[in-house]
Chain A
Amino acid sequence: MNPTTSFVIISLLKIVGIVFLVILPMVSYAVYAERKVSALIQDRLGPNRVGPAGLFQPIADAMKFLLKEDFTPAHVNKFYYWLAPCLAMVPAITTIAVVPFGSTLFGVPMVIADINVGVLFVFAIASLGVYGIVIAGWASNSKYPFLGGVRSGSQMISYELSLGLAVVPIFLLIGNLRLTEVVRYQIDHGWMVFPFAGDWKNPAGWLLAVPMWISFAVFAIAVFAETNRLPFDLPEAETELVGGYHTEYSSMKFALFFLGEYAAMITGSAIIVTLFLGGWHFPGVPDGSHGWIFGLINIFVFFAKIAALLFIFIWVRFTLPRFRYDQLMRLGWVFFFEIALVNIFLAAAIITFFDR
C-alpha cells in the first residue's frame, strides 16, 4: 500500500471514529446530561423512564425527532430555510479536525489534520456557525426568528474579538499556532493555567499565571457567548423571542440546530482544554509511544476534561439569569475587549522581561 492510500484510509478511520463514535454520542448524551443535571440542581429527578436512570432517553429523543412531521411553512425562503440547519451543525463538527484528542495510538498521531495554522482554522470555521443562525432568522420570514438572528450576529461580532485577543498571550509564549505544539509545550512547561508547574522557584512562572488566568477567564466566557449558552442565550431567549431563530423549525431540522448547539459546546470545550488545560496530558501518564494502553488513556483523559467542562456549562446555565441586551454588549465591548487587550501587553512584558 502506498503512503497516500494508507494516509487517506487512516484519516477516514479517525474521522469516522472521532465524529461518529465519540462526538455524536457525546452530543446526544450532553442533552441527557443537561436534563439530568438541571433536574438535580432544581431538586427534580429528570428523565428516569427510558432504561436504567433514563440512560436510553437520547435514543427515544432521536426516534421522536425523526418521526415528527417535517413542516415547512409557506412563507419561508425555501433554499435558505433548508440550508441554515446544515450551516449550524457543520462548522461545530468541522472544528474538531485540528484538535489533538490524544497522543498516538499504534504510532498514528491522534489528530485528524495537524495543520500549522491550527487555532486560526478553529476561529475561521467556528465563526461560520453564526451564518446558520443568521440565515435561519432571515429565511424564516417572521419577526421572532429575525430578531434572534440579528441578536446572534451582533453578539458574535462582539465576543469574537475578545475570543481572538484572549489567546494571543499563549501564542506569544509558544511562538507556534499548531495545536499539537501547544499541547507539547504544556507537557514540558506545565499547563497554561499552571505555568509555574515543574519550575516552582522561578518567579516568571508565577507572574505568567496572572495573564494566563485572565486569558482563560475571558476565553471561557467568550466561548459561552459564542455557543449561545446562558447567560448569553439572547438569540433564542424563550421568554422574549418564543424560540428565537428556530421558532419556525420542526422535526429533524430543529434537532440539527439543537444538536449543533451542543456540538459547538463540545468543540468549544475541546479548544479550551487544548489551549489552557493541557490537552490530553495528565500528570504522570506517559504518551502513546510507551504502549497503546497509554494512548487510550490519553484519549480518555481528553474527553474526561471535556465532560468536566460540559458540566460547568450546564451548571452555569442553571445558575445565572440571562443578561439584558445592553448589558451583554457593554460587557463584551467595554470590559472583555479592553481586558483582553491589556492582557496581551501584560503577557508580552512578562515574557520579554524574563526572557522565557
Chain B
Amino acid sequence: MAITVPRPKLTWFERLYLPAIVAGMAITLQHFKNMLLGRTKVTMQYPEQKWDAQLPEHYRGAPALVKDEAGRIRCVACQLCEFICPPRAIKIEPGEIPVKDRFSKVEKYPREFDIDMIRCIFCGMCEEVCPEQAIFLRKDYAITGLTRAEMVHNKEKLLEIGGIMHGVVLKWNEKK
C-alpha cells in the first residue's frame, strides 16, 4: 500500500529560503574560524607525530628472529612456523651446524630464513607455534620497499629487527 508521506508545512519565513542560507553560512564560518584559531582538534599528523610510545604490549608488528643473551640464533630450523603460516610467507632452508662449532650435532640452524612481508598478515601464529621462542612479532609497522625483492626480509634483516631477547628458555646453556 502506498503511503503518502506528509510534507512539513513551512512558514513564510522558512519559505523565504534566505535565512536558512545565512544560518548555514554562519555555521561554516564558525568552523573556519575555529580551525584558524586552532580550537578544533585535528587528527594526528602521521609522519611528523607517531604513536610509537603508546603502542600496546601485545601489538603485532613485523615478525623477527631473536638471539639469546650469548648472541646465538635461537631458531633451530624446525620449520613449524613455515608449516603454520597461513599465507605461506615464511621460507626456511635448514642447515647443519658445522662440525667445528661447539654446538654441532645438537640442533639444526636456518641457513636461509625469508619472510615475504607482502604476504605476511601479522597473525602471530609463528610466534605462538615456535617451541624455541625464536620468532617474535616486534612493533615495527612501517615496512616499505620499492621492489618486491626488497619486501622479502632475509635472515640478516630479521635478526636486525629482532635483536636480543632475554627469555625463559635456557636450553643451550650449561645445566646448573
Contacts and interface: CB of A to CB of B under 8 A. Distances in A.
Interface of A: 37, 40-45, 315-316, 318-320
B28 interface: yes
24 contacts: A37-B32, A40-B31, A40-B32, A40-B35, A40-B36, A41-B28, A41-B31, A41-B32, A41-B35, A42-B31, A43-B31, A43-B34, A43-B35, A44-B42, A45-B42, A315-B25, A315-B28, A315-B32, A316-B25, A318-B28, A319-B21, A319-B27, A319-B28, A320-B24
Nearest to B22: A319
A320 B21 contact: yes
A37 B27 CA distance: 14
Contacts of B29: 315
* Nearest 5 CB-CB pairings of A with B: A40-B35, A319-B28, A41-B28, A319-B24, A40-B32
Interface string B129-159: 0000000000000000000000000000000
A114 B27 CA distance: 42
B40 interface: yes
Contacts of B28: 41, 315, 318-319
Given A40-B36, A45-B42, A315-B25, 13 more contacts: A40-B32, A40-B35, A41-B28, A41-B31, A41-B35, A43-B34, A43-B35, A43-B40, A44-B42, A315-B29, A316-B25, A318-B28, A319-B25
A127 to B, nearest CB: 27
Contacts, number: 31
A43 B25 CA distance: 15
A319 B28 CA distance: 6
A44 B42 CA distance: 7
A239 B17 CA distance: 24
B25 to A, nearest CB: 5
Contacts of B24: 319-320
A218 to B, nearest CB: 13
B27 to A, nearest CB: 8
A315 B32 CA distance: 9
Which secondary structure characterizes the binding site on chain B? helix
A45 B40 CA distance: 10
Interface of B: 21, 24-25, 27-29, 31-32, 34-36, 40, 42, 45
Interface residues of chain A: helix, strand, loop or mixed (majority): loop
Nearest to A317: B28
A334 B37 CA distance: 43
Nearest to A48: B45
A128 B42 CA distance: 44
A319 B23 CA distance: 10
Nearest to A40: B35
Contacts of A315: 25, 28-29, 32
Contact of A43 (B21, B42, B45): B42
Contacts of A316: 25
Nearest to A39: B35
Nearest to B23: A319
A40 B28 CA distance: 9
Contacts of A320: 21, 24
A89 to B, nearest CB: 30
B28 to A, nearest CB: 4
A320 B27 CA distance: 11
A319 to B, nearest CB: 4
A266 B26 CA distance: 24
Nearest to A42: B31
A122 B131 CA distance: 83
